[in-house]
Amino acid sequence: MLDVARIRADFPLLGQPENGRRLVYLDNAATTQKPQAVLDAVAEYYRTTNANVHRGAYDLAIRATEAYETARAKVAAFVNAWAPEGVVFTRGTTEAINLVAGAYGRANVRAGDSVVVTAMDHHSNLVPWQLLCQEKGATLRMVEITEDGRIDLSDFGRALERRPKIVAFPYVSNALGTVNPVAQLAKLAHAGGAVVVVDGAQSTPHLKVDVRAIECDFYALSGHKMLGPMGSGALVAKPELLEAMPPYHGGGEMISRVWDDHSTYNKIPHKFEAGTPNVEAAVGLAAAIAYLERVGPERIADHERALAAAAIDKLVQIEGVTVYGPRDHRAGVVSFTYGDIHPHDIATILDQDGICIRAGHHCAQPLMRRLNVAATARASFYLYNGLDEVDALVGSLVKAGALFGYVPA
């Protein structure tokens, strides 16, 4: 296990009380807290380096550009991207997937084609493909899941029989914690002639990611889920695909020459980064990656798996609690229900003990329907959580159950 006390000291917000109690922050799948190193990097950028990038000939603008492009190289190295120019900065996974749907999808999907997603996808990896298929007259095919919360490989194979143009799936389910066999899925999809899009929002912060080993075509990530600033993230793509794609947004920086009635476009990745970018977020994301590298992605993954396993072992001993998702091949996300207590009530009661969890459909309504629930409660762990916080979660949950007449076993 990690030295949680030492790590926790690096996060100023975690030192403040919540409702008069020690803060137990277990909503890391939604967003993570930020270490002092990230806060310092953002503040230092504004104190010493702030200028618009790529456009100025003066030293301050050159230093700002260097900071921005250094951050791009940092992201590329962290996920073993094909090249730094294959990293497009976005506001996060949602914008990255919309970029693929809006640029690659519009240029390549036609009426009668199909796009494949899964029943465990976050809305961010579902709605953009719905919009694309509706616009193009294509078919959206949703692959089912197994009873224990995995992608049904048999149904995945059936979906590939139509030779879809695009296959999209999550590396890690935000609602179930399932770690999908992404390299296997990508190989199968490529054999069927599809381009592969991986939602990496829940994998990049928690696992050692290698996009070239996965052999996907597009990989989307969110910085705020990996200790970085809000509004930071990236699309990581094979450069040759970006070269062939039309722009997604129009404006400054993404152009080469502009005439009255047409334009030519900048080289990648700048072709997809119209307007003034969120430079401080990129700098903060680079600092977050440096922090994660110091701790070690493999050690973080092992730590989270241990916390999730401990939480599941204790939760299933509470009569009336149902835990969703597989028991192995999972990340530090634990979704559960407690009898007929609404998950929102659970979250509200736990909050009184300073415990922050998520309650709702987790932007995965098709999945909730397959689980036959309207919502679940979700505890999600990260490197600054410890076994004592698992105990706090379980103890507070038992107290919540008592309020609704559930008697501890």
Angstrom distance (rounded) from CA 122 to CA 160: 21
Question: Considering Cα of 380, then 382, then 387, then 392, what sign does the dihedral take?
Answer: negative
User: Has 363 been annotated as catalytic?
Assistant: yes
- Whole-number Cα distances in Å, 68 to 41, 78, 282: 12, 16, 6
Helices (H), ranges, 34-152: 36-48, 59-78, 93-99, 106-108, 127-136
- The secondary element (H helix, E strand) that includes residue 356 is strand 355-356
Residue 341's CB is within 10 A of a number of other CB atoms, namely 20
- Which spans in 103-165 are helix H? 106-108, 127-136, 153-160
Q: Detail the DSSP E strand segments found in 166-289.
A: 166-170, 195-199, 218-222, 233-237, 255-258, 263-265
* b/e 22-49 (16+ beta carbons within 10 angstroms → b): ebbbbbbbebbbbbebbbebbeebeeeb
**Cα–Cα distance, 356 to 362 (Å, whole number):** 15
CA separation for the pair 334, 343 (Å, rounded): 13
DSSP H or E stretch at residue 21: strand 21-22
Question: Tokens in use for 158?
Answer: 């059936």
Q: Which residues pair with 333 in a beta bridge?
A: 380
Tell me the CA distances in angstroms from 174 to 148, 167, 402, one per residue in order.
15, 18, 29
Q: How far apart are CA 299 and CA 281, in angstroms?
A: 26
Q: Cα(93)–Cα(286) distance, rounded to whole angstroms?
A: 17
**Residue 395: which of 358, 349, 362 has the closest Cα?**
349
CB neighbour list of residue 11: distance below 8 Å, 6 or more residues apart: 33, 34, 35, 36, 384
E-strand spans in 249-345?
255-258, 263-265, 321-324, 333-338
Residues annotated as catalytic (active site), given as ranges: 363
